[in-house]
Structure formats: C-alpha cells, structure tokens
Amino acid sequence: MTPVLEVPGPWRAARIVLILLTVLLASGLPAAASANVRLKDLVEFDGVRGNDLVGYGLIVGLNGTGDGIRNAPFTEDIMTGILERLGVNVAGEQFRPRNVAAVLVTASLPPFARTGSRIDVTVSAIGDASSLLGGTLVMTPLNGADGQIYAVAQGAVIAGGVAARGDAAQVVQGVPTSGAIPGGARVEREVEFQLASLQQVRLALREADFTTALRIEQAVNGFFGRPVAVMQDSGTVVLDIAATRQPSAAHALGQIENLLVAPGRRARVVIDQRSGTIVMGEDVRIGRVAVAQGGLTLRVEEAPLVVQPNPFSPGETVVVPRTQVDIEPRDGIGMAELPGGTSLAEIVAGLNALGVGPRDMIDILNTINAAGALHAELVVR
C-alpha cells in the first residue's frame, strides 16, 4: 500500500508536500519493493508470543524532584518496607525526603526468554514527582498475569525529558516523569512452552483478509512443493509440521518466515483529527461527486481594562471587561467535480488544485463518505 501523508502545519507547507507526493504517484514509479511483505511481518505464529510484566518499585537519588510524602503516602510505605528488609528499623519515624519516587515498572517478556537473560523495562511515576532524571530503580520484582515473579528489575533510569522551574514560571520539555532502563531486568523464571512438541502450527494474520490468507497458503505450499498449509478462515492458516518433512516446528518456521507475500488490504482512509493527519491507501476510490467548501471565521478578543481610584481616595480597583467580536466570511473553494472511479493521485491533485488545507480536507472526506461516494473504510481517530 502506497500511503499519502497530509501533515499538520502551515497551509503552504502542507500543499507542497501533497504536490510532491502526487507527482511521485503519477509518475508510475515501480512499487514492487512495497508490494511483497515477509511472512513474519504478516502473521503471528501460534504460541510464539511475549508476556507482559508489571511491578511496583521505588526510584532513589533524585535531585529534589521526587514525591511529596504528604501527597503520596504510598511512597513512604514502600520506602519503609525496603529499609526494614535491609535491617533498618524505621518504625514510628517521620520521612520528608524529596529524592525518592514511587513508580510502576512495566516490561515485556519475549518468547523463549531464558533464565539469566536481560530485558528492557519502562518506569512511570505514579505520585507527584516532577522528574525521574538521574534516579536509580531499587530492586523490583516483576509479576506476570498469574501472579508469579518472572524477572527482577534494577538500574539507572534514562529519562526522556527535562523540567526547570522558578518562582514565577516553569518549562517542561518531553516527559521527565517517565523513563527506561535498557537491559534493566534479569529473567528469573521461564515460561513453559514446548514448540518442538507441536504437530501443527497456526499462522494468525495480524489483519484478517481472505485474499492474504489464500496467498500465504499458496506461497507455503509452493515453497515445499506439496500441500502442507490449509487456510481455515480469513485470519488463520494451519501448517502441518509432519507434512513439511522438517526435523521440528522451529525448522519449518525458519524455512517459511521470510517468504514474500503480497497482502490484500481493504481500501482505507485514516484521519487523526487531533493532529490533522490524513493517510490514504492507493486503492481508495470515490464516486462521481461535486465538491464545494467555504465558511465563516469568528474572532473573539478580550482586552479587559483595569480602573483604579485616585490616590488616597475611597474606592477599590475594578476590572472592566472589553470584548470585541468579529465575523469574517471566508472565500470558498468553489464547485469542483470529481469523476467516478477517481484514483488516489487524482484525488490529491484535485484537492490541491482547489487550494484545500489539511483541516478542510478532513471535512471534505467526511462529507464525501456521508454522501456514500467514498469507496473505502473511513477510520477517524
């Protein structure tokens, strides 16, 4: 699928991007590089999956940017528990540190992870800490959905942002209350799964489609030269391990995971209204429609006036509101006709010719879909 991206920003820059993409699409450049996809990028192999882990821990060594104990009493509880396990008696003591923060620690245990291997973890503040920069996560057990401990995390946190504040202003860049620890957890328990004992392996398509499933079946059978794969439905293809004549399921999957398959996808238009992003697939078509667009611009300005009494005279300071409201008509884009069966390049070229901005294009696509002329799935996020 050849995407066309509409990026938010100034109207002129967005129009230039769309014109360049239109030229590339209309030039007839070969698309073979994007037509075929590796099988491993289209399916999930049955049983070959990761497992989510979560833990509750404490970060220490912060430079006065940790939790306020009064606002986050759970931080004091976990800190007391850690100190008592280390043999420090703190019963009845009052803590007021600002260099510690309670965090949730998350990680994904990859398939076939063995005891002693290391995995990446992510830490996120759950109290009122303003930054985790420079902190160190204290030994934290990570539990799976069954409540068992599968890994233990510890290490220095790499925060992805920075925060600075003064008496009257503050600046925050990125997200300093979240960070990562590369290789910060060590696997302590393995997930029991015997891949070698499987007689059949199901290939689960990440995006169910009958055409794609049929092509996968044909590609696998063509590779082995005999029927070893059967399509069950639009989302599942079953591989018979014995019929492949491979020593194990791992050998069979290693043989087929790099096979190239041309996926068949539904025509789709994805709109992100928050950022003004539009992505359209090359199979998008529209029926014959006429498009016109225009509107009004409403401007409201507030300029309050402060009125003070004369010095040493009775009275009080009063804020007098002043509001200016203007409504300006905005020139429309006129009426334009788009013929039936219009391709992606023609849609983009037509909307560019009308001088349509990103936000206006979103409205036009929504209206074309409401009119029943958009022959594609419209996804609005």
Per-residue pLDDT tens digits for 109-124: 999 899 999 999 999 9
How does DSSP classify residue 196?
G
Helix, coil or strand: residue 15? helix
Length of the chain: 381
Task: Note the pLDDT of residue 63.
Answer: 86
Q: Is 77 exposed, middle or buried (0-12, 13-18, 19+ CB in 10 A)?
A: exposed
Instruction: Kindly tell me if the per-residue pLDDT of 99 is higher than 50.
Output: yes
Q: How confident is the model at residue 3 (pLDDT cuts 50, 70, 90)?
A: very low
Q: How confident is the model at residue 17 (pLDDT cuts 50, 70, 90)?
A: very low
Task: Note the pLDDT of residue 174.
Answer: 73
Q: Answer with the residue of higher pLDDT: 54 or 378.
A: 54
Task: Note the pLDDT of residue 80.
Answer: 77
Least confident segment among 19-28, 281-290, 335-344: 19-28
Q: How confident is the model at residue 291 (pLDDT cuts 50, 70, 90)?
A: low
Query: Is the CB of residue 232 less than 8 Å from the CB of residue 240?
Result: no
Instruction: Kindly tell me if the per-residue pLDDT of 189 is higher than 60.
Output: yes
pTM (two decimals): 0.63
In single-letter form, the type of residue at position 271 comes to: I
Interval 168-179 mean pLDDT: 75
- Tally the C-alpha atoms within 13 A of residue 98's C-alpha that lie toward its C-beta: 6
What is the residue-averaged pLDDT of the chain? 78
CB contact set of 145 (below 8 Å; sequence gap of 6+) = 51, 52
What tens digit of pLDDT does each residue of 208-261 get? 889 999 999 999 999 999 999 999 999 999 999 999 999 999 999 999 999 999
User: Tokens at residue 43, please?
Assistant: 């399916």
Task: Note the pLDDT of residue 267.
Answer: 81
Interval 368-378 mean pLDDT: 79
> How far apart, in whole angstroms, are the C-alpha atoms of residue 381 and residue 365?
14
> How far apart, in whole angstroms, are the C-alpha atoms of residue 114 and residue 101?
31
Instruction: Choose the most confident range, by mean pLDDT, from 8-12, 50-54, 61-65.
Output: 50-54
Task: Note the pLDDT of residue 309.
Answer: 76
Task: Note the pLDDT of residue 215.
Answer: 94
Strand partners, 269: 280, 378
Instruction: Kindly tell me if the per-residue pLDDT of 52 is higher than 90.
Output: yes
Task: Note the pLDDT of residue 220.
Answer: 94
Q: How confident is the model at residue 168 (pLDDT cuts 50, 70, 90)?
A: low
In single-letter form, the type of residue at position 254 comes to: G
Q: Is 177 exposed, middle or buried (0-12, 13-18, 19+ CB in 10 A)?
A: buried
What tens digit of pLDDT does each residue of 140-151 get? 999 999 999 999
What tens digit of pLDDT does each residue of 53-90 get? 999 999 999 988 888 877 677 777 778 778 878 877 77
Task: Note the pLDDT of residue 301.
Answer: 64
Closest CA to 42 of 281, 263, 268, 266: 263
What tens digit of pLDDT does each residue of 328-369 get? 555 555 555 556 556 656 766 666 666 666 677 777 777 777
